[in-house]
A and B are shown apart, each in its own frame.
Chain A
Amino acid sequence: MTAPLLEVRNLRVEFPTRRGTLVAVDDLSFEIAPGEVLGVVGESGAGKSLTGMAIIGLLEPPGRIASGQILLEGERIDNLPPDAMRRIRGKRIGAIFQDPLTSLNPLFTIGEQLIETLQVHLELDHKQARSRAIELLAEVGIPAPAARIDNYPHHFSGGMRQRVVIALALCAHPRLIVADEPTTALDVSIQAQIIDLLKKVARENGAAVMLITHDMGVIAETADRVAVMYAGRLAEIGPVKDVIHAPRHPYTSGLMSSIPKLGEQRESLAQIDGAMPRLTAIPPGCAFNPRCPKRFDRCMTERPSPMPAGANHAACWLYAS
């Protein structure tokens, strides 16, 4: 086992509001090994994106890391001063956001945005940065990059813009790429291309990827390991094939059986009854207990931590030894 590239330990993200403090991410721990693709899945509001933003240090106030640690290559980064964190962003951790249509500044050419990013992190003069930018565009599959570099974002389609965004994230060869729903805003036909590209560039650059999505198909195709989040907590984590084919946590099982399979005839889709609790109304004990078909007394009072369950770790009392 190599040393982890990224370690998140007992992360807790809070939003102080007038009506009390909301705990959006609660006691979350996981690791990402160098070069590994970790998929993070969960429903909207499960805290996946906030975890990503916490890692790159861009939680929007009043959201804040209340406790826990984030370590990049063994070094704490959650408590760095803003300027030191800024030098890590883009250089050691790249980020890709959901909507490529709004991720690029419409008033600057993609070349200007690439060159600026390159020059912030690397010692390049303008000419070197420009030729590097053209290489990057070629790497992410933009045709005729030397001609397109002076185009504005609106000259590109959504898929092409997401390629530019990936090129921007790759500028300084980051060791980790946090990709927050990178394909959600794209056409289905383009999604596969972008996922392939992301896998390819991560492999070629030796970068690990934290892939945040609610699309199990993307996870199944891309990830090495999967973390399933529920109501700001980790429900289950494990190798991708084990989580998909042998889910241990009742929530993961429900999630997997709600995905319709090809060739299957059924009247209605399988679903988990109820809804994820609002952050203001998380029940005591296991957050999933009101919807869990297998709950018992202990689930109602005591909160489970992730514990070994088969090849996975699941936060479920069913696996208490």
Chain B
Amino acid sequence: MLAFVLRRVAQAVLVMLTVGLIAFSLFTFVGDPVLFMLGQDATPEDRVRVTKLLGLDQPFYVQYANFVGRALQGDFGLSLRQVRPVSKLFVERLPATLELSFAAAFLALAAGIPMGVYTALRRNSWLAQVFLTVSLIGVSLPTFLIGILLILVFAVVLGWLPSFGRGDTIAIGWWTTGLLTASGLKSLILPAITLGLFQMTLIMRLVRSEMLEVLRTDYIKFARARGLSDRSVHFRHALKNTLVPVITIAGLQLGAIIAFAIITETVFQWPGMGLLFIQSVTVADIPVMAAYLCLIALFFVVINLVVDLLYYAVDPRLRVDRAAAAH
């Protein structure tokens, strides 16, 4: 168990170093920073001085090591546009993105799993057909279009919900939350649906196909032959086996939700990291872009690690205990 965790952590570190390298190389690809800072008319002496000052005369790997060292302390330098520390900007924006992402993920799971189970158990009912049809729309429509349609219907035509922004927020320490105010909650609904709809349909279809698969297995037939109730067969025996692969996908999707929040945040002008990233891209704000890349990679790596451990907890076959040797 410990060896497993250590191996996974080592892999995670390797991934992060690689992503860091890519983020770091952004700086060199997008032009000479010295030229950028001093302009074209600087004297060669000035250029040498600034190059030294910035540490750019050092070999590549020393620069990279410095970058990693500072990144570990959360220091990604100053935003070129806002001239404020990138870490500060992120701390301000992180709560908005995480609240939106988790709301979307919760929505996807809370609706997707029951719908998947329902469509698997009542394959021929009209409601299951409706779910499947709607899910087809969910997977095939692009996120921004769903967002725009939702805004059109619920904000413009019906006027029930706000079309942009986060509403009122309350600060709890450095964390600002919109979950505790009415306008914050109302603002969350449309973006969360937009962001979660694709994942919800994905999870629903996954649960459905896994469940159908599991219901055909011998152990389900045998569970019925033992006289267990339908409820126990479906929701105890079948669902647990169904959820093993679903955990992996749902975990990976959480990473995707955080990363792809960019589009939803842009459509709804949601003041999160994705919006910050898009704004940075338009002005080539490299430090912000590099930091965003690293942070998203970190989310993915951590989520993957947690998913692996969860998998381990759910499926006893992965737990190798020496106490019970097979005969």
A binding-site residues for B, Cβ under 8 Å: 56, 58, 82, 86-91, 94-95, 97, 99, 102-109, 116-117, 120-121, 148, 151-152, 154-157, 159-160, 165, 168-169, 171-172
Contact = CB atoms under 8 A, between A and B. Distances in A.
B222 A103 contact: yes
Interface stretch (B41-49, B224-232, B271-279): B224-232
A151 B321 CA distance: 10
Contacts of A121: 227
Contacts of A148: 324
A156 B230 CA distance: 27
A97 B225 contact: yes
Q: Chain B contact residues (Cβ within 8 angstroms of A): what range?
A: 20 to 34
Interface stretch (B158-166, B286-294, B309-317): B309-317
Q: What 8 A-B pairs have minimum CB-CB distances, sorted nearest first?
A: A90-B227, A95-B225, A102-B218, A89-B227, A90-B226, A152-B316, A105-B219, A155-B324
Contacts of B234: none
Given A91-B227, A104-B222, A120-B227, A155 B326 contact: yes
A157 B326 CA distance: 6
B324 A99 contact: no
Interface in B202-228: 217-228
- Which one of B222, B232, B314, B324 has the highest number of Cβ atoms from chain A below 10 Å of its Cβ? B222
Given A58-B221, A95-B222, A97-B218, A107 B227 contact: no
15 contacts: A82-B230, A86-B230, A87-B227, A88-B227, A90-B226, A97-B225, A105-B223, A105-B240, A117-B227, A117-B228, A120-B227, A151-B324, A154-B317, A155-B324, A157-B326
Given A58-B225, A116-B228, A102 B219 contact: yes
A97 B241 contact: no
A86 B227 CA distance: 5
B237 interface: yes
A120 B222 contact: no
Nearest to A105: B219
Contact of A106 (B219, B221, B225, B324): B219
Given A97-B218, A106-B317, A156 B226 contact: no
